[in-house]
Structure 1
């Protein structure tokens, strides 16, 4: 049974009554509000996992409520519903910040199934246990290595630090690690450390006691307490304020949390998986991240490669996204042509998998004659072209391994020469970690001091 809590914002009394009955039968807990004037107070009263928002409300646009909902319910998935569905409305609502878009139907059962699909589309229950890769899609060597690493650590209840660019799928990997661990029966919660204010982040993680601050009218348990026996995923931990880093360090060291306004600590058995797109070693040097917390978190670092380094995975990823998106919109599946795939593989994907998913969804919405249409989305992008790259002429003929070693040695020498032996600066320029630079130097018998003036 689902245990999610939903808020329905709709002035259609009959629709709300039917949906509440069907959703309750499916195990959802539902609240509803039918007037714009009542929405702010309702959003303050409880924490919701999802919000069903009618786009036409009180002769006004429900989209006007999106900023307020996002502010008051930062973790809720907002699903826009309407009886007057058009492509511009769907695109407009999602661009305004909605998670998804649904058309009201005469079959409430199918609508409830669609709501459930959207709310739990990325949940642990949706990770396909029939596949060893636990929902991670790809055929490249880099992804095979990642999957093998997840299997290697599944018996160890240690802290994990996931490193990778934005949009590479860090949360999916965190969920896969949780699902493969002995904590898989426990609760998994994700929180973006850079998306919400420090005071709200503290109350969400540690909870608070009644009277701790003006709006603390009752005790509230934090996620560390609620996730006992499970896992908390701290996304973008590199954005976390230093004061909060100290409190996370205490959780890792002592295994206990102290709610805001309390004089007592509470023991907690919650695993922490953290992630960041930043180079935390550089952040330590600049004073933006605590070194002791870094070493506590990075017992087992996991690197997720960017999509541009795993172009062979675009085909299976694209097919997966196209199938699921077409199913969501209730339309026949659309196939990729060879030119479609060539176009996708020629692009450098700065937004990684998230950008690929958005591109495919836009191409489906804008499809013409049953064919995917990528041009509107990609027209403003600048795909990389092989013709733009000048050929590299090597002075000698090496086999592949020798050529790679020669390049690496020359590259690291030139890099350290330009930085005057500053390893931290070399790491920043190359996008590597300091430890990587030191390993390369050791491999070729070089020392950073050799390059100092």
Structure 2
């Protein structure tokens, strides 16, 4: 049974909450900050309901904010739900900006509160599982730089990595740019018997053709103008290790012949040399091209294709990985927050919708870059769509191309944009923003909560 901490100075309300929630949660209750922190340290609940007005200043807010800050300092992932009166909405919104998960206005309706609690516990469970999965993959030798996932297609990829790592056959990894092909190659090397050897990577499409041969195979002194000494190539450096040929589809045909010779005979010749040099290196190749079509068109040798693709691992694009999008986004958020020492804790619900519906042409690399930039630029604890820097074109395409978009959805999107614009134009002065929109201030706060805007008044 999940643990829930109730922090409330009013004994009648505490009794009401215990009575309504005891059957679904293991509840603990406290009437002040000191008792609340003691219970929190003892039981480590993942969700807390917290009243802003705590003794010795029940009519103030300082004790409530201090309690919130200390709870989040002890366990930043805790979902704290502020319980407040109708006249305290501004402070409740500020609490959300300070890291609270949500707020709920008195009088308490147990049925409504249960919905919020259920969502909070669900999110806490997902975050815990994501953290566990990431930790598990790290210990299995997977790179922590992005090769995580729990979608069915990525679980298949992980299974393939484990199976092929113990063998010594050539592997071809295909997938769009930014899907993590080099990370998969490093994972294969890291789990193989060659892990103590070198992992040498070369991008076949990033080096001019006239230099690529010497980069791969090295050269002898005097082989060409400027060759003042003997130099080993990447293939030799990969002896007893792994050679990663990124974008192998860009390899010129004349070098395809030399690579094929190496794969067949396990020997190379440096540029300008005649000596056969034995090299024991495993080949792991990658491409974002349809290599089978390149073979049919004559741009890639068929015999080389069969040599480098004994095992073929296909990486799915991020848009097809479902739940992995937010798993990765939260991972990148946590890393960036730690790296740049920012107190950014989560994405708003609207930001989550946008992240999950975007096509991600740049895949995982694009997601990481957007989240990292957003953390750097954000002045809030919550990342909103605006700070994620999606182009207006992307936002409009999401709005009008989504098959699930209804007229009600479109109205809500426009409503949200108008509220954000009014608040920003009035520099967070909620009274003026409400006046511009032609609505009452309480209605504006309702809209702020409804659309997860969480902009606090000055």
**Aligned partners of 1:133 and 1:147 also within 8 Å:** no
Which residue number corresponds to residue 342 of structure 1? 353
Matched, 1:130 2:143: no
For the pair shown, the structure with the greater C-alpha radius of gyration is 2
Structure 1 residue 348 displacement after superposition:
0.6
Which residue number corresponds to residue 272 of structure 1? 283
Matched, 1:296 2:304: no
Alignment partners' CA distance in 2, 1:213 and 1:170: 34
**Aligned partners of 1:205 and 1:224 also within 8 Å:** yes
Q: How does 1:40-55 map to 2 (within 5 A)?
A: none
1:128 to 1:147, Cα distance in 2 relative to 1, 3 A = closer
Matched, 1:352 2:363: yes
Give the SS at the match of 1:194.
coil
Structure 1 residue 389 displacement after superposition:
5.1
Which residue number corresponds to residue 226 of structure 1? 237
Give the SS at the match of 2:224.
coil
Which residue number corresponds to residue 379 of structure 1? 391
Matched, 1:325 2:352: no
Matched, 1:388 2:401: yes
Give the SS at the match of 1:182.
coil
Matched, 1:235 2:256: no
Matched, 1:211 2:233: no
Alignment size in residue pairs: 266
Structure 2 regions of 5+ residues with no counterpart? 1-134, 405-458
Ranked by relative contact order (alpha carbons within 8 Å, sequence separation 6 or more), the top structure is 2
Give the SS at the match of 2:270.
coil
Structure 1 regions of 5+ residues with no counterpart? 1-125, 392-453
**Aligned partners of 1:360 and 1:374 also within 8 Å:** no
Q: How does 1:65-144 map to 2 (within 5 A)?
A: 129-131=138-140, 135=144, 136-144=147-155
Alignment partners' CA distance in 1, 2:355 and 2:402: 18
1:239 to 1:354, Cα distance in 2 relative to 1, 3 A = same
Match of 1:307 among 303, 309, 318: 318
Alignment partners' CA distance in 2, 1:369 and 1:197: 46
Which residue number corresponds to residue 361 of structure 1? 372
**Aligned partners of 1:359 and 1:374 also within 8 Å:** no
Structure 1 residue 201 displacement after superposition:
1.6
**Aligned partners of 1:127 and 1:176 also within 8 Å:** no
Matched, 1:284 2:295: yes
**Aligned partners of 2:344 and 2:382 also within 8 Å:** no
Question: Pairwise CA RMSD of aligned residues?
Answer: 2.1
Alignment partners' CA distance in 2, 1:159 and 1:294: 11
Alignment partners' CA distance in 2, 1:214 and 1:307: 46
Structure 1 residue 226 displacement after superposition:
1.1
Give the SS at the match of 2:197.
coil
Task: State which drifts further: 338-347 or 295-304.
Answer: 338-347
Task: State which drifts further: 375-384 or 334-343.
Answer: 375-384
Give the SS at the match of 1:220.
coil
CA deviation map 1:214-259 (0-9, x unaligned): 1111111111111111011111111111111111111111101111
CA deviation map 1:362-386 (0-9, x unaligned): 2112213333254252034425548
